[in-house]
Structures are given as C-alpha cells and as structure tokens.
Structure 1
C-alpha cells in the first residue's frame, strides 16, 4: 500500500542538501540534479526518481558502485511509493552489494526470521564488522528513520565500526526500506527485541541500540524498557511529536503516512488515531532504563525540544540539545559522533569493570 502526495522537490533539497553532500556525493553532481528536477513523482525527464537514477546509472557505468548506491538511495527517497521508486531501491541494493569489496569493514547480509503475529516475517539485515573482528565486543543494533535507511547510513555505520571496534547490525524499521510494514510502535518494539536477541549471539552478548530520527523512537523505547544494554537516541520523537493536532514539515506527513501503511493521503484525524500508541509516556514514567544518550538539534522542525529535554535528570542518562542545528543535528555531525564515541567508550569501560 502506498500513495503520492503534494510535495515540492525544492523543499526537499533545502532540507536535505547537506545530508546529500555529507553522505559522500560530490556537491557539483548534487547541484546538477537539483537544477534538473522540476517535479516529484513523474518517472520522466525533470522527475525526481528519473534524474537521480540517471546520475546513479552514470556512476554504475564507471564502476563507482558506492556512489551509485548513494544516488539510487536518493532516487527512491523519500518513500517507496510506486514502481519507479521500488526499482530504484532494487538498483540501490544491487550497487551496494557490488561496492562490498571496497568497504573498509567486513560485511555480511543476512535475512532473519522473526516472530510476527501468528507466523514469522523476514527482516534483511547487514552485519558490519571491523577487520579481524573476534566477536568479543558488544554489537550495536542500528537503524535510520522513515526515509533514510540502512544502506543510506553505510558511511556513518562504517565510521562507528572502525572507531569503536564493535560490530554493527543494521536494519530498516517496519514499514520502510526492505522491512515489511506497516510501521507500528508495539510491533516495531517487538522487532527490535527479536533483533536484539539475534545481536546477542553475534558478539560478547551485550547489545547497544542506535536509532536515528524515527529510529530514535524505537531506541528510546528499547532503552526505557531495558530491552538492550544501552541506547542512543538521535533525534527521536517520543511524546510531544505525537501530540493531538501536530503536523509535520517538508512533506513528512506523506512520508509517515506511507510508512504507517495508508493507501491514500490520510486526514489529520486518521493520523491522530495512530499516534497514542507511539507516545512513550508509560515507559517514561518507569525507572527501568538502561544507560542512555539522547541528542538532537535545538532547531528541529520535526521533533519538539520536549522530546529531548524530557530525558533530563533521568538515572544513567546523558542529554545534549545542540544549538544552531536542526533535526538529528545533521549540520553538526562531527560533534554528534564525538559525543557518541566518548559515551560508548565510557559504557565499554564500565562493562569491563562490572
């Protein structure tokens, strides 16, 4: 189930340009695509998926597979809402796997069968490991959000592996990427619990959970519930983001609506009906959390400051609301990574003495 909605391509470039360039795409190539795109949905010259796919095909032709995977990632952005977008996702995976020999880390693609309703569902995951990994470290379970998925975050996950020496088990949230939908807070939390159990068998038995954007909702959930051993919440919506009457900027209503499984553009009332289960107040009222690191930008247009500041004063919880930056503090990613790495170092040190 999927649908198109009204969204201006230029608005997406305004919001995501820095992310596009920081991911590794040459700014000149991004600028060329930006100048060529005039429409969001038509798969024809001037259309978003067409122009991004043309750039990606050029990279692929010259065997620049990692750049091709990034560009096809932007071609399928912001959601797999039609055949052209699904094709772009398939081409992204194809190019990503061709890029594996050039990775700085070990790589293994697995498909994990996890319980779902009365049966099972398949969740494709990517295990990234440091050179010579002996599986004697914690494993970091990691996901992006509703529109930026595991292959899109390869560069960040690779940096985490090389800096920390941990393995990273990357997955897509239910309702996004390669994971079956629709996205649901309770079923998503069950998916995380099942993947955490799998991750415990891969390293030394300890599991950290990094969630970015909507993924941060689920890492907040796993950290507050104690389903993992430590949790990092980067730009996660937890409570105020799901308040009655809330709307999202830059076409995010449509992105979220697709992830939730709607086959039409939902009304505000239809969206509001889904939000109560996403509010983590019952978990926030408990004192069961594992060590947590919570970070976001103070100028986030999607997630209110409350959803970061609500963690202030909690036991074993470190909170950073960074000024002069927006959602997930993307424009200050080096600072975010430094905070993450220092915090992870402290958690591993505490583990060694526990």
Structure 2
C-alpha cells in the first residue's frame, strides 16, 4: 500500500497536467482515508468519480479520473481494473472525437501499446514521439498528438517499460526501445528518419542515452529528467519521496530499498552528453524534489546545443502547466526551424505569461 499523504501530495502535478483543477480534485481527496480496498480508498473514490463522469458522457474527463485511480502504478486488482477502464474509456473518446488511432507494435521487449496520429503511407511525415515518466500512462499525454497533427507531423505516444500497458522490465537496455519503435514505424506511414522525442521526466533519461547512437532522433525535449547525480548521490537518494522509490522498485523488479542503489550504473557521463549532436531543450524546476539541481547543471556544462527554461516550482512544474505546454510546442518548432510567425506568437505569449506571474507574486 502507498502512503496516502504522499499520494495526495504528488497527484497534483498529474491532475493539473490533465486539466483537472484543484477545485474538483481537492474535495475528492478529502474522501480518501486509506489505500486498501473498499469505500474511502484511493482507488474506490477516484473510480467512483470516474464512473459518474462516464455515465454523463464526459469520457475524456472520466479517463483522467481512472488514470488517477490507478496512480502511481498497478499493485493489485483494483488498480488493474482502473487502468483497464482508463484505456477503454479513452478508446471510446478518441473514436468519437478525434483522429487518434490505436497501434500495437511487436518489439523485442514485447508488445507495446501506442496511440498515433497522422500515419499516412502516401505522405510520410516527421514523427513526434511522446512518452511520460514512471507514474504516467500514455492516455495522459495522448491529447498532445493533436498538437503534432496541427504542426504537420505524425505522432506516437506510448509508455516507459513497466508503466501502463508496457509489460517490459525497466532496465539498462530500456533506451533501445526508442530505436525499436522507430524501426517498427519505418513502413507504417511516417518518415522515421526525422524523429523528435518529447520525453517527460524519467523517459528523458532514455532519450538522452539513445540520442548519440540513433541519428534518426533529430531533437530531444526534456522536462525534469534524471541525468547523473540522481543515480549517484546517495545523500539525495535518501531524501527521495517514498512514492518515487517504491515505483522504481516496481518497474525494475527490485526491492524498493535496493532499486535506486542498483541504478548507479545508469548515470550518463560527460562524454556521452558531449556526443549528443542534436538540439536538446530542457524544462527545469528550481525546487525539484526528485531531480537534483546538479543534473541540470551537467546538461548546461556538456550538451552543446542546449536550451533551458527554468520555473520556480517543484517536480513537473504543476503551477506552470500552461506556460510549460507552450514552451514544449515552441521547442519543437525551433528544432524543426519551421513557422517563424507561430514561433514569434508563442514567444510573445510566454513572455506575457511570465510577466503576469511575476506581477502576481509581487516580484515587480
């Protein structure tokens, strides 16, 4: 079982990223008293709210609540059922409201479930690969595919090993999954030689490790990615939230007490970072409680084509969701060197948002 206080603390970033405002989820959290089975449990209260939304035909909102019910990972039948409902309800929503398509890929690690948009053999397009972190499923990020389509790209969203429907083990070979996905897309209506990775949280580590070895990756966008110190700084690791350590143990198949220690060899050394010859844009949270500040510093020292944006926020920048979304799209446009007028518009909107935030906080 998870610590309910931690669940309530860390669910905020994922709720806000999906457009669930505090006014909706905070009263629900007040009804949660434990993480076992039955009424008052984390899964039961989120699932009950999801069922109401589903009955009302508010399918995308229901999907988001089922996602929160299975958060942070499947540890038994109740969360397994919530994940299944999350996927099923999203499938219903996308069939009725979007061009998003289901695609299952048979990779060396096993079958991988994906949501896609813009796959067209008659007109192969550059592809945007989207992946969340260790606690977020593909349905959470799938609406980003509509942005890719609007930008004239194909798009694919999937999950890290061990997350959601991806049953593969999270291990030292996991970065190769990105290349295996591109291999599988080669004859499926995308230009897999022009791939851009929007990899959020821990999936950013996979992209950084793979970028020097796969020339098809033309750019990498990160948000709160572990790089080096996360894996090597024992003092930092001792202060990590239990929910992070438990999740890493679940995904790697290790005991939580051993999981982070056995990941020490996953640290990316400076020479590997210097070998990255594509643009890397990184979103950094100044008060990140999961990713140590040394990791952003290491990117700045060793990645040659780096842009960063720093928010005065905690991991995932939950108080800067709108700004971060604009910045991610702007990063993609900059990497592809397209649509200068839209780039200028996004830069203006970001500047205006940042100025309003400074004024609201009394910063002058």
With the length of structure 1 as denominator, give the TM-score of the two structures.
Answer: 0.86
Please list, as runs of the form range in 1=range in 2, the aligned pairs for 1:134-173 lying within 5 A after superposition. Answer: 135-155=123-143, 157-158=144-145, 160-173=147-160
Q: 1:328 — aligned with what?
A: 316
Which residue number corresponds to residue 332 of structure 2? 344
- C-alpha distance in 1, partners of 2:150/2:293? 29
Runs of 4+ residues over 6 Å off in structure 1:
none
Cα distance change on mapping 1:320 and 1:82 into 2, 3 Å: same
Match runs of 1:1-354 below 5 Å: 4=1, 6-7=2-3, 9-25=4-20, 27-40=22-35, 42-104=36-98, 106-116=99-109, 121-129=110-118, 135-155=123-143, 157-158=144-145, 160-184=147-171, 186-201=172-187, 202-204=189-191, 205-227=193-215, 228-245=217-234, 246-247=237-238, 248-249=240-241, 251-262=243-254, 265-267=255-257, 270-281=258-269, 284=272, 286-314=274-302, 316-349=304-337
Q: For residues 315 and 279 of structure 1, what CA distance do their matches in structure 2 show?
A: 15
Shift of 1:244: 4.6
The CA deviation string for residues 264-295 of structure 1, in whole angstroms up to 9 with x for no partner, is x432xx22442123211165354243221122
Deviation sequence 1:70-124 (CA, Å, 0-9, x none): 11000000010111111110111111111113444x21111111124xxxx1111
Cα 1:318–1:13, aligned 2, differ >3 Å: closer, same or farther?
A: same
In 1, the alpha carbon distance for the partners of 2:70 and 2:197 equals 26
Q: How many residues align?
A: 334
Could you tell me how far apart the structure 1 residues matched to 2:271 and 2:79 are? 36
Please list every run of 5 or more consecutive structure 2 residues that lacks an aligned counterpart in the other structure. 340-364
Instruction: Tell me if the contact between 2:161 and 2:169 (Cα under 8 Å) persists in the aligned partners.
Output: yes
Alpha-carbon contact 2:218-2:278 (below 8 Å) kept:
yes
User: How far has the Cα of 1:217 moved from its partner?
Assistant: 1.1
**Structure 2 CA distance, aligned partners of 1:313 and 1:196?**
30
What does the per-residue CA deviation read over 1:142-167, in whole Å, with 9 as the maximum and x for residues that have no partner? 11011012101233x14532552322
In 2, Cα distance between equivalents of 1:315 and 1:281? 11
Task: Tell me, in whole angstroms, the C-alpha distance in 1 between the residues paired with 2:304 and 2:202.
Answer: 22
3-state SS of paired residue (1:14): helix
Give the distance between the partners of 2:13 and 2:275, measured in 1 at CA: 38
Distance 1:300 1:161 in 2: 28
Distance in 2 separating the partners of 1:19 and 1:13 = 11
Structure 2: how far apart are the matches of 1:21 and 1:78?
Answer: 15
Deviation of 1:340 after TM superposition, in Å, equals 2.5
Inter-partner Cα distance in structure 2 for 1:340 and 1:27: 23
State how far apart, in whole Å, the 2-side matches of 1:330 and 1:163 are: 25
- Partners in 2 of 1:335 and 1:25 — Cα distance? 16
- Structure 1 match to 2:362: none
1:251 is paired with a residue whose SS is helix
**Paired residue secondary structure (2:198):** strand
Instruction: State how far apart, in whole Å, the 2-side matches of 1:307 and 1:135 are.
Output: 40
**Partners in 2 of 1:16 and 1:344 — Cα distance?**
27
- Taking only aligned residues, the RMSD between alpha carbons, in angstroms, comes to 2.6
Q: 1:147 and 1:244 mapped to 2: Cα distance?
A: 22
User: Gapped runs of 5+ residues in structure 1?
Assistant: none
Q: Is the 8 A contact 2:132 2:160 kept in 1?
A: yes
